[in-house]
Amino acid sequence: MIDLLDFSHASIICGLLTVYVLLIKKNAMRSFSDYILSFFILSQIWTAAIYLLIFSGNIIHVPFLYRSAAPITFLIPPLGYLYVRSMLFNEHKFNKIDILHLLPLIYFTINYLPFYLSPNDYKIEIITKTIQDKNFSIQKQLGLFSENIFFLFRPIQAIFYLIFQWGLIIRFNRDNPNKKIEEQIRLVLQWLKVFTTANSCILLAYFSTIGLYFFMENLFEDKLINIVPNFLLGLSFFIICSYLLIYPQTLTGLPFVKYRETKSNLIENEVDKIPFIYEDYSQEINCLETYFKNNSTFLQPNLTISQVAVETHIPNRDLSYIINNYYEKRFSDFLNEMRLKHFLTKVDSNTLDSFTIEAIALESGFSSKSSFYRAFNRFYSCTPSEYLQSHQSANLKPKA
């Protein structure tokens, strides 16, 4: 039988790696949608971690964490919806009305306040009874209202948000057929479908739990039956995280979605922002090439895509899309190619008479000897010494 605890641990580790790629890793884009996705994953991680503590019985050592995940579960569906919306329409901030998505989180936080503020001895007593009989956790009322409200409202909320998510994807797919950029649209829509399908699996897990709750007297005593909804939860979380690690290019998103302001048909003296496809990046490309030509910022060893985006006034996601699709390179390769050209220019100036290869490489913007040799071999399929030797031999050959 699959070890649920091991699988949940693997999902949590995978989730933390994904957050690292999204927000912490060097040259991470850290776009608005990346922050939303990171909060979505961290909310899932917190929920899974609390479940593991309860399932293993270790929650007894940290009683103040018991029921801390309950309100956070109501943040996960709106975050999933807002992430899909921000990806499809290239949003950079929340709307004022989006604060309404927090109402369930606020409601259930207030609901459990009496338990959160109760003494540790009382919490330990509740936890002890829960460890002895898992059914106690869904029978004992800990908040202002019955636990049935929690179990019923959670899937209802998830259903509505999943409908909204699928609606956004279907509508965008219908309204934006575009041959020039259809590959990028396909990649992002494929990812969003995987993301939303995984969320649907989470909903299926909750439906399974509710069905078992109402039709089985001893829900938690049959481990074989209980593993089904929990496995679905872990699997869906694992799919979301692993997909991004395998296909990080989907994080580029749809940078070509812009907004055109038109007069509002509903409110006088107001404007509506209508999304449309923007294809001509010639101005941004010219700006980017001028920036590197005039400033030689590629010589900075720790240059990030976010820094370039700020200094060129090109949005981070647009910049990533241009480099990946127009230049057909990753940002690191894009920089290293310019650094290698600078290195070879310096070598041609006979600087090897005064400096070592490694010294010129560091002056050319490489952060270390190993990164230089790795990049050189990637572009020229040989070592710098072999490359220079072959070119010197060619220059020494007599002309015909």
CA–CA separation, 300 and 293 (whole Å) = 14
CB 87 within 8 A of CB 253: yes
Residue 371 has pLDDT above 60, yes or no: yes
Q: 330-344, pLDDT tens digit by residue?
A: 888 899 999 998 888
Q: Closest by alpha carbon to 94, among 43, 39, 45, 46? A: 39
Q: 62-89, pLDDT tens digit by residue?
A: 989 988 888 998 999 999 999 999 888 8
> CA of 243: how far to CAs of 77, 215, 248, 320, in Å?
19, 35, 8, 19
Three-state secondary structure call for residue 133: coil
Q: Are strands 271-277 and 257-263 parallel, antiparallel or unpaired?
A: antiparallel
Q: Amino acid letter at 347?
A: V
Q: 337-370, pLDDT tens digit by residue?
A: 999 988 888 886 667 777 888 888 888 889 888 8
Going by the DSSP 8-state scheme, the letter that residue 142 receives in this structure is -
CA–CA separation, 32 and 88 (whole Å) = 12
Greatest C-alpha distance within the chain: 96
Token pair of 68 as six digits: 């801390």
Query: Counting runs of H as helices and runs of E as strands, what totals does the chain give?
Result: 18, 2
CA–CA separation, 45 and 17 (whole Å) = 11
Look at residue 183 in the predicted model and tell me its pLDDT: 67
Q: 184-230, pLDDT tens digit by residue?
A: 677 788 888 888 988 887 777 666 665 555 555 555 455 555 555 56
